[in-house]
C-alpha cells in the first residue's frame, strides 16, 4: 500500500510543493550552489520520516520548516569552507526585469528576504512564519517592517535609474 501524505502520494506531494520549497531555498541561500541539494534533502526527509499530517497546510508548513533547516545546515557547512568575505561578494542571479520583486528580494539580507517571501509569496501570517522559522512573533514583525523599508528604498533606486 502506498504511503499518503495528507491524502497525496509522494509524487503528488513533490509535484505540488517542489516549487514552493525551491523558492524558499533560493531566497534563503541566494547564490549558493546548494539549493538543489537542500530541496532534494527536504523531500528525502519527507519520504524517510513519513510523518502524519492533519491536512495539506500542515504538510506544506512541515516541508517549509525542513527546507529552512536544510538551508541553515548548508550555510553552516559553507561557512566552514568559504571565507565570509567571499560570501559578501557573490553575484546575484540575473533577472530579465531588473525591477522584478524577486530580484529586489535577492538584494536584501537573508533574514529579511525569508520573512518577506513567506509573507507575500506564500501568504503566511506572522504567527505562522514565527513557527516555521522557530522564532518569536515580535522578531518576525520587526523583520517584516525593516525588510519592507529596505525593499521600498531599493525599489525607489531601481525606478530612478
pLDDT digits (tens, 9 = 90+) for 67-125: 999 998 887 776 544 343 433 343 333 334 434 566 677 777 777 888 888 888 778 88
Q: 82-116 burial, b for 16+ CB within 10 Å, e for fewer?
A: eeeeeeeeeeeeeeeeeeeeebbbbbbeebbbbbb
pLDDT higher at 1 or 47: 47
The pLDDT tens digits of the residues spanning 26-55 come to 988 876 678 999 999 999 999 999 889 999
Residue 81: how many CB atoms within 10 A of its CB?
A: 7
The upper half-sphere exposure of residue 27, i.e. CA atoms within 13 Å in the direction of its Cβ, equals: 26
Strand, helix or coil for residue 5: strand
Domains of the chain: 1-91 (1.10.1740.10), 92-161 (1.10.10.10)
pTM: 0.58
The average confidence (pLDDT) of the chain is 80
Q: What is the CA radius of gyration of the chain?
A: 17
Residue with cell 533577472: 95
Say if residues 75 and 27 touch (Cβ distance below 8 Å). Answer: no
Tell me the CA distances in angstroms from 57 to 7, 24, 33, 45, 64, one per residue in order. 12, 16, 29, 18, 11
Amino acid at each position: 500500500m502506498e504511503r499518503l501524505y495528507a491524502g497525496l502520494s509522494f509524487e503528488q506531494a513533490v509535484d505540488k510543493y517542489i516549487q514552493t520549497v525551491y523558492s524558499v531555498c533560493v531566497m534563503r541561500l541566494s547564490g549558493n550552489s546548494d539549493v538543489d541539494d537542500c530541496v532534494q534533502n527536504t523531500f528525502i526527509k519527507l519520504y524517510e520520516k513519513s510523518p502524519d499530517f492533519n491536512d495539506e497546510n500542515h504538510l506544506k508548513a512541515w516541508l517549509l520548516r525542513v527546507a529552512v533547516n536544510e538551508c541553515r545546515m548548508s550555510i553552516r557547512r559553507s561557512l566552514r569552507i568559504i571565507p565570509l568575505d567571499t560570501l559578501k561578494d557573490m553575484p546575484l542571479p540575473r533577472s530579465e526585469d531588473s525591477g522584478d520583486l524577486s530580484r529586489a528580494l535577492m538584494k536584501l539580507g537573508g533574514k529579511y528576504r525569508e520573512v518577506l517571501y513567506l509573507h507575500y509569496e506564500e501568504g503566511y501570517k506572522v504567527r505562522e512564519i514565527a513557527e516555521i522559522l522557530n522564532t518569536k512573533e515580535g522578531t518576525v514583525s520587526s523583520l517584516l517592517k525593516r525588510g519592507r523599508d529596505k525593499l521600498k528604498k531599493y525599489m525607489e533606486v531601481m525606478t530612478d535609474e
